[in-house]
Chains A and B, each alone.
Chain A
Amino acid sequence: MGSGVNTATWSLAPVRREGAWRAVFVALATLPLLGLLVFVAWPLALIVLRSITGDDHAWTFARYAALLGSPRILQAGWHSLAMGATVTAISVSAGFAVAFALHRSRLPGKAVMRFALLLPILSPSLVQALGIIFLLGRAGLVHQVTGWNFDLYGFWGLVFANACYGLPQVVLIVSSSLAGTDRRYYDGAEVLGASRWRQFLDITLPQCRYALVAAAFVVFTVTVTDFGNAIVIGGRYRVLATEIYAAVAGQLDFGLGAAIGTVLLLPAVLSIAVERMVARRSGRVADGAMVVQAPRNIARDVGLGLVAFVALAPILATTAIVVYASFARLWPYKLGVTLANYHVNLADGFAPIVTSLQVSLLAALVGTALLFSLALAQRRMSGPLAAVSSFLALLPAAVPGLVLGIGYLVAFNDGPLSGWLYGSIAILVACNFYHYHAQGYLAMVAGLRNVPAALEEVAQCLGAGTARRIGEVVLPYAAPTLASVFFFLFMRSMVTLSGVVFLVTPALNLAAVAVMQLDMNGSVSQAAAYATCVMVVTGLAVAAMRLAAARASKMVKRSRHVA
């Protein structure tokens, strides 16, 4: 983040090295920036252009005038804002509490908490909404057991669905900050006699300020652009994202859809500006942070435990009920157990899961590498380049998947890159990675704040080569962040739907699209069964990779000891 932080570093370096440094950072920045230009800026520019091009190919702002004059659109806009604000408030406060419980409490069962947090990230979009209906619908399990009548469909149902999805993303971003706060701050405060509450206000919160703002940005934009939940749970509560769907798929009015999509970018652009401001004002994490050990405090643990339970139990329940429904003969009427739903009526059977695995591995590998070099290069960037690159890095969060998918189709169906991209795995990889670029980027930036600048400078003065410097100084500090970004991208790629639904071809189908096809085909139970398979495969893949990574790092440590 950069501006003004590292200019001093350069003057410390021997003059003849400066050119080499610069070249390395230019090289680091080039690929990620090029990717952002081709896969974010270009498709979005085409979309914005579409919104101001009339049917007669002349420029026009008539669509925007019509939007502003339409009470329906204004109401949907207000609904989107109210929804975004409510979900952000709930997700950020609950997510912060859960992250705090994970890093600063002596609560038992953290593994269960981590598991629950994974579920919304690795469950196919459609299925999460289905689970909520199975659980809380007018004929849902809660109604059946308690006889309680309440109407799920509408504002609060949608808040619930979106908050379930927002919460783990808050925890992901905030955790990297909490983990990087130095214990010595607290030791010092303790010696000076500051109360625990004072320590929380004066150390913990300021240290997390950047992460909290970043998390709020992510939750707000993701909520405002979501249309999967809005369509299934929203009922008659209309938001802008559903208006885009009606314009594009219902009325084939791409111009109108593009105009609403462009309006949706506005709050995001504002929040990006806020993010930049906070990023500049936030201090860096202390050098050589020592991990904080939570002191014994029963009251704190009980409180956090309650909050974590209230926040995470619904997530566990909605996923559990989908798995349960996948074994039911006829949900919700015949609940006897059967495996019949696992014989899916799909021409290509379970092959889409294999394709999804390949796409997701590539998206996660390429994505993590690009995000890492971007975040690293940005430590040296300043001025307009820094602003533009972080703007582009954050922008995808504000783009509904539907708009991104159509943008890719319009940009890459014909033109110079179409031969390479259209119908290839590459375009699916790109779409999935850039769809979640902002989340990965924010986690990466928050995580790299932990890399001590002083250590880097020492390495530089001692004349360590850049490659070695990255390998030996930055990587050990960044490794946990790299891993969490990698797994986040991997899991989201496995299950995200809205963008890629426009990019799959007859020869190349994905697991999330297969789930949707099964549901459209009339079999909710088969969709649930397929989704369960996707979740299990994704979970196993993540577990296997984590195990391999742990083993590899052990071996590296051992070989270092020998040396």
Chain B
Amino acid sequence: MGIRGTITGIFFLCLLAPATLRAQTLTVYSALEEDEIAAYLEGAHKALPDLTINVMRLSTGDLAARLLAESAAPRNDVVWGQAVSSLLDPRLAGLLAPLSSPRIDAMPARYRDATWYAPTGYVTAFCVNTEALASRHLPMPRTWQDLAKPVYRGEVVMPDAASSGVGFMQVSAITQLMGERGWALLGKIGENVAQYTPSGSSPCKLARTGEYAIGVSLAFVALQSIDAGYPVTMVVPSDNVGYELEGSAIMKASKNKAAATRFLDYLASPDAARIYARFKTIVTVPGSKPDARQVQMGLPPDLDARLAPVDFRMAARERSAIIARFKTLEDH
């Protein structure tokens, strides 16, 4: 097809767009990973064959920025798997429609709200490069307190709470539970930090290739790295396990709310939960547990009980104050 053909084609597509949208097409913005999206969509297609679901994948921060920039005329029907602490931001929360369906209403109250629910989530983990650790004769860190020890100077990489949702999740979990002692701990760890990265998965990616020995990151990136064959050990710190929920919601401006609700209801089904188990460290659909393979790679079998009891609403309220204080640590 030549350029002219393409332009004409797009022109006609634009003319047709309103009509086709009514014929059960959903536009979805998602912060989930590309490969899991493909697997979930395959499942959704079997359960809801009449729906066409177009997904665009963006990082959590870019997705939030895009929603805000489009807020005058939203373009998507569904937000899928976006950090709940981001959905709780009043400027984004105001864009969401009330949400209810049989399966969603049956979820534990901790994992839902009037406008969103979260069938999955992710937890903090350290990615430790065993080769780098051995070559520098360092002991294996097990806790956040360990990361503050001077032996690790210059070998720790952490996400930047000011630009990464994962970084914010870790810092707010530590400071909520430990108060001033938490800030002092973060300050001491800061002396060992070589880099604060803008993305939550970069620390693990830097650690797994041996750039640094320890990357403070996410369990699923650690698991992915072990699977790929990198010399990585996953450590879920025993003193504080920050976690984040991946919330899904329907836009107030959506013209396809019925179809969107069917899609989100499917995502709360046991069928979907079976697919989550292949990728996710937290599955909130009742009756889900880490699978044997994950436990073997270092995920605690009682993960659910060990999650830090974080108050997401409080974290969202105090977000700017937390970030402002964190920045003074970074500048140190």
Contact = CB atoms under 8 A, between A and B. Distances in A.
Interface of A: 71-72, 75, 133, 137-139, 153, 231, 235-236, 242, 245-246, 248-252, 254, 330-334, 345-347, 358, 361-362, 406, 409-410, 413-414, 418-419, 422-425, 501-502, 504-507, 509, 517-518, 520-524
Given A413-B73, A425-B6, A72 B327 contact: yes
Lowest 4 CB-CB distances: which A-B pairs, in order?
A: A249-B61, A250-B163, A139-B210, A506-B54
Given A72-B331, A235-B194, 13 more contacts: A137-B209, A249-B62, A249-B64, A249-B65, A250-B164, A330-B228, A332-B210, A333-B229, A345-B35, A362-B3, A409-B70, A425-B10, A501-B58
Interface of B: 3, 6-7, 10, 14, 27-28, 33-35, 37-38, 41, 54-59, 61-62, 64-66, 68-70, 72-73, 75, 86, 89, 91-92, 132, 160, 162-165, 168, 193-199, 201, 205, 209-212, 221, 224-225, 228-231, 319-320, 323, 327, 330-331
Given A242-B198, A347-B38, A502-B66, A250 B61 contact: yes
Nearest to B36: A521
Contact of A246 (B27, B70, B160, B212): B160
Contacts of B38: 345, 347
B66 A409 contact: yes
Contacts of A409: 66, 69-70
B64 A252 contact: yes
A420 to B, nearest CB: 8
21 contacts: A133-B211, A138-B210, A138-B211, A235-B195, A236-B330, A245-B198, A252-B64, A332-B209, A333-B230, A345-B34, A345-B35, A358-B3, A409-B69, A409-B70, A413-B70, A419-B14, A502-B65, A505-B27, A517-B34, A520-B57, A522-B205
Which of A137, A252, A346, A406 is the most central at the interface, judged by chain B CB atoms within 10 Å of its CB?
A252
A250 B198 contact: yes
B14 A424 contact: yes
B34 A251 contact: no
Which of A71, A246, A362, A409 is the most central at the interface, judged by chain B CB atoms within 10 Å of its CB?
A246
Nearest to A516: B59
A497 to B, nearest CB: 11
Contacts of A231: 197-198
Contacts of B225: 522
Given A235-B195, A245-B198, A254 B68 contact: yes
B6 A358 contact: yes
Contacts of B193: 236
A153 B195 contact: yes
Nearest to B161: A250
Nearest to B66: A502
Contacts of A242: 163, 198
Nearest to B74: A413
Which of B70, B221, B320 is the most central at the interface, judged by chain A CB atoms within 10 Å of its CB?
B70
